[in-house]
């Protein structure tokens, strides 16, 4: 059990951005579209160098306060930074910050919102064995922090399932899904005003339809709502005053998206 304000980002600004590479080239087997396809197990990759940059043009000035690199294969010696600027010039950008290294998933939430059109992610992993840097999902977002603390229980589990497909020629193949973690968020003694940002989150992801970035205790997770939100409104009738204001006990279940997909296929 822990207390932490939930941070989330529903919109990935890369969805409508244009990307160019510096210092490395796009790996044709891992195209750049995979960087923002909402499937972090299907990675985008870079060839030709162990270090390079991704320049992101958002098309117009946008507010950004966080970035996440999900399911990356960077080694512990890698350095990662993000810079923002009003023009596509990087000699002395207006904003720059180092992203702390975390195995598999790295992220940072900026202390102050930043408003720029151009962004540049730079990676230097010179100590890795091969020039095969890959990132599963690159998320640039304007994160929302919920105003109320909540209790949350983390349940780590490994559950596997095979999803089968059949080719036009009649051959079947399957890939394995592995769910790792799930949470149950509980808000107690929450008022109608406090409920508003929570319902906004749920409506933004259409209940459980869309994945979104969640940050707890500085750790990023790419998640999907597991169940619809559950809450109860106190009953007020004539000559009876409910104890306290509008009180909503809420349980909201979330699970981490698929971490491993063996998309090579298994003949069955």
Residue that is last in its domain, among 125, 143, 161: 143
- Whether residue 235 has pLDDT greater than 80: no
Q: What is the pLDDT of residues 167-222, one digit of tens each?
A: 677 777 655 555 567 787 877 777 777 777 887 888 887 766 678 999 988 899 88
Over the range 15-31, which residues count as b (16 or more CB within 10 Å of their CB) and which as e?
eebebebeebebbeebe
CATH number at residue 98: 2.60.120.260
Q: What is the pLDDT of residues 49-70, one digit of tens each?
A: 999 999 999 999 999 999 999 9
Q: Are residues 248 and 208 in the same domain?
A: yes
Average pLDDT for residues 104-112, to the nearest whole number? 95
- Tokens linked to 198: 């929570």
Residues 30, 34: Cα–Cα separation, whole Å: 7
According to the model, what pLDDT value does residue 1 have? 40
Q: Are residues 185 and 242 in the same domain?
A: yes
pTM (two decimals): 0.82
Helix (H) or strand (E) holding 219: strand 219-225
Q: What is the pLDDT of residues 152-166, one digit of tens each?
A: 777 766 655 566 667
SS3 of 105, please? coil
Residue that is last in its domain, among 143, 159, 177: 143
Q: What is the pLDDT of residues 119-155, one digit of tens each?
A: 999 999 999 999 999 999 999 999 999 887 777 777 7
């Amino acid at each position: 059990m822990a207390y932490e304000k939930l941070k989330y980002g529903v919109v990935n600004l890369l969805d409508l951005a244009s990307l160019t590479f510096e210092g490395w080239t796009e790996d044709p087997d891992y195209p750049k579209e995979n960087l923002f396809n909402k499937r972090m197990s299907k990675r985008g990759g870079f060839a030709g160098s162990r270090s390079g940059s991704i320049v992101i043009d958002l098309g117009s000035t946008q507010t950004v306060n966080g970035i996440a690199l999900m399911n990356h294969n960077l080694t512990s010696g890698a350095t990662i930074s993000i810079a923002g600027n009003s023009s596509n010039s990087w000699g002395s950008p207006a904003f720059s910050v180092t992203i702390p290294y975390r195995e598999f998933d790295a992220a940072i939430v900026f202390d102050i919102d930043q408003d720029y059109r151009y962004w540049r992610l730079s990676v230097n992993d010179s100590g890795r064995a091969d020039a095969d840097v890959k990132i599963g999902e690159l998320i640039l977002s304007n994160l929302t922090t919920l105003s109320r603390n909540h209790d949350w229980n983390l349940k780590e589990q490994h559950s596997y399932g095979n999803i089968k497909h059949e080719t036009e020629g009649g051959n079947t193949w399957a890939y394995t899904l592995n769910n790792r973690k799930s949470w149950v968020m509980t808000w107690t003694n929450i008022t109608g005003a406090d409920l508003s940002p929570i319902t906004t989150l749920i409506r933004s992801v259409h209940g459980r339809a869309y994945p979104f970035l969640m940050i707890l205790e500085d750790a990023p997770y790419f998640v999907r709502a597991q169940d619809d939100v559950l809450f109860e409104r106190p009953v007020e009738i004539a000559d009876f005053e409910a104890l306290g204001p509008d009180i909503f006990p809420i349980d909201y279940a979330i699970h981490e998206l698929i971490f491993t997909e063996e998309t090579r296929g298994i003949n069955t």
